[in-house]
A = this chain, B = another copy of it.
Amino acid sequence: MQTDRPVVYLALLHYPVYNKEREVVATAVTNLDLHDLARLAVTYGCRGFFVVTPLKLQTRLVERLLDHWRTGRGGEFNPSRKQAFLSTRVVATLDDAVAAVAGENGRVPRIVATTARTVAGAKSYAELRELMRSESGPWLVVFGTGWGLDDGFLEEVPEVVLEPIPGMDEYNHLSVRSATAIVLDRLLAPDRERR
């Protein structure tokens, strides 16, 4: 099925990701990650944004933030932020996100993962862009916090792993906020924008 506009969801994983010592951990949620990714998701027409954390306290923190912007004073102060957070959800695991997407679309999403590391068989942006235009999805594009997604996760879970965004002089240390912005623009910006 040809789709001009693929059905895409975002997920920001706080587990299983590496810390600086390359131990697999659950990271704390960063407030501005949520703001930036929620706004990016709406800008690029994504159907939803999942904040994925197994930590109960972090879940409650995210729920308070979402309440503030969706039903509380935040939304009165800044309606565009309210709009951004309307499609944001917090879930405990990526399976929960997959189940939610499946419930909304009648089929499970194809999972795309991003990494700053070189992975065998990784697809280029152009390849995935093309694929997203020719295959109906839904697609669930996954970003890791901390020092990036666990290698075991990358090997087992995603159907597609995207190539890293290489720096010009071997510098390869973007924030997840920057990486998400660049990846969504490369995959989803209208063709007229890319000329």
Query: Which residues in A have some Cβ–Cβ distance to B below 8 Å?
Result: 5, 20, 32, 35-36, 39-40, 42-45, 77-78, 80-81, 83-84, 124-126, 165-169, 171-175, 177-182, 185-186, 188, 190, 193-195
* 17 A–B contacts from the bound complex (CB under 8 Å): A20-B77, A35-B175, A36-B175, A39-B171, A40-B174, A42-B171, A81-B173, A124-B195, A165-B185, A165-B193, A168-B190, A177-B177, A177-B178, A178-B180, A179-B181, A185-B185, A186-B194
Contact indicator A174/B78 (Cβ below 8 Å): no
Q: Which of A81, A83, A186, A188 has the most CB of B within 10 A?
A: A186
Q: How far is the CA of A28 from the CA of B58 in the complex (A)?
A: 28
Interface on chain A toward B: helix, strand, loop, or mixed SS? helix
Contact indicator A80/B171 (Cβ below 8 Å): yes
